[in-house]
Amino acid sequence: MPEEDKSISPAKKEANTKTGETTETKVSESNATSGTASAAAAAANAGGTAEQEAEEVKTYKCVNLTAFGGSKHVRVDTNEVKPVGKNEVAIEVQACGINFLDIMTRQGLIEQTVKPPFIMGSECTGIISEVGEKVSTYKVGDPVVVLLENGAWSQRLVLPVIEKASANQSSSNTPAEDTENNESTENTISSLILPRPKSLDVNKAAVIGYAYIPAYILIHHIANIRSGDIVLVHSAGGGVGTAIGQLVKLIPNVTLIGTASKAKHEKLSKIYDVLIEPDQDCIAEIKKLYPNGINVVLDCISGPDTNRLYGVLKPLGKHIIYGMSNLVTGDRKNFLNLAKHWFHMERINPLKLHDENLVLGGFFLKSFLFCRDRGQNEIHNLILDVWNELTKLIDGQKIDPWIDSQWYFDETKEAMMRLQERKNIGKVVLIPKMKEVKPEEEKTENAEKPTAEETTANSPKK
């Protein structure tokens, strides 16, 4: 402690000279004592600082995909909270949506811009918790809905403010501007932030994006369904299927046919006029009921029946493919099934469409939202227009998202399995928390999952 003695001794000596109450010997002893005390205090302060820093390290949970394949590659991880950049916002996530798209992503059936590991999920809702100093579009406390390429299944999001969702016009920064303006790059993924409808609870807000936006675009922008049309919808009990059912019912005198398992018919009969089981011959049933044909097929299955369905379409009829759920037959990718699927799909003859005056089209919301090579601003403006129309319908109680069940982060595999086995009616919600199992609840841990009526918006129950 020599250096400490030198720093203290002059002050002590000066004080003793002025007061005359001590000697150099006492000063020396006092300095030694003070030096020891200072060293002890410094050590204590150092220890306190280390403890304080340890306490200040904040973390959050997220659901990661470690490799493409089965559900064993899905796990809950802990990430360290990073600071928000100047042109970024942080979002405290309250609820997430699970889509069939997420199962296909896990299995490697959907082309990705990133490779595992990455955070899963394409939609969520939450509250703006932090705002970068250059962000003026949002303020802390704003409730928002977020659509992403990946990364939604997280307790915290840090996103660049690229799309101004609350404005009448959407604008985007160039990649160079993003690099310059955004300090944090850990979660700078493609995203669209939208204002949350005031009348929706967090669970319904979390699942409306990837269900009602594609449903609205399919009905009003692609198929142009009109009064008097007869429409077939595959997988009527899914998230998009139930959304289509509600939205089509707002168009007068439209006959809606849906395919769904028998167990779902009672509930789906509220929005569908005719229901056909998957193991029935759908084409034969339609020809029997409507010998003159139907106007529109909205197909999220595709596969062997795609060619056959042309036989039930009227002239100027439209077959719109918006999914490929037939590709999923198990926990992992089935290459034999893929080969069969593509064999049937590749046999579509465009000359037949020409000769029979039919239309074949497709729609995929994810690639539509985040395409990088054409008109993203124009696309986002369309999405904002659709969102505004949906918000009016929600606030006017014309549509209401159906919630099938709610699950915690550590139940993600089971939640995905519910969709994979086609058991859901409506959307499945993922709560960004870990399940707390009380001793008396351990025996009933494997009990059946609750319906939406048995749960509340902010406190999931099993």
Q: Over 90: is that where the pLDDT of 241 sits? A: yes
Q: Residue 190: which pLDDT band, with cuts at 50, 70 and 90?
A: confident
pLDDT tens by residue, 16-28: 444 444 434 443 4
The model's confidence at residue 226, banded by pLDDT at 50, 70 and 90, is very high
Give me the mean pLDDT over the 255-283 stretch: 95
What's the chain look like in SS3? Answer: CHHHHHHHHHHHHHHHHHHCCCCHHHHHHHHHHHHHHHHHHHHHHHHHHHHHHHHHCCEEEEEEECCCCCHHHEEEEEEECCCCCCCEEEEEEEEEEECHHHHHHHHCCCCCCCCCCEECCCEEEEEEEEECCCCCCCCCCCEEEEEECCCCCECEEEEECCCCCCCCCCCCCCHHHHHHHCCCCCCCCCEEEEECCCCCCHHHHHHCHHHHHHHHHHHHHHCCCCCCCEEEECCCCCHHHHHHHHHHCCCCCCEEEEECCHHHHHHHCCCCCEEECCCCCHHHHHHHHCCCCEEEEEECCCCCHHHHHHHHEEEEEEEEECCCHHHCCCCCCCHHHHHHHHHHHHCCCHHHHHHHCCEEEECCHHHHHCCCCCCHHHHHHHHHHHHHHHHHHHHCCCCCCCEEEEEEHHHHHHHHHHHHCCCCCCEEEEECCCCCCCHHHHHHCCCCCCCHHHCCCCCCCC
Alpha carbon distances (Å) from 138 to 161, 299, 423: 9, 38, 38
Say what the pTM is. 0.78
pLDDT single digits (tens) 330-388: 666 665 665 666 655 656 778 888 888 999 999 999 989 887 666 778 888 999 999 99
Cα(69)–Cα(115) distance, rounded to whole angstroms? 12
Enumerate long-range contacts of 432-436, CB under 8 Å, 24 or more apart.
Answer: 432/61, 432/93, 432/94, 432/95, 432/96, 432/124, 432/153, 432/154, 432/155, 433/61, 433/155, 433/408, 433/409, 433/460, 434/61, 434/76, 434/408, 434/409, 434/410, 435/408, 435/409, 435/410, 435/411, 435/462
Lowest mean pLDDT among 16-30, 219-233, 428-442: 16-30
pLDDT of the residue at 431? 97
- Name the range with the highest mean pLDDT among 1-10, 160-169, 207-216, 437-446: 207-216
The model's confidence at residue 35, banded by pLDDT at 50, 70 and 90, is: very low
Q: What pLDDT is recorded for position 333?
A: 65
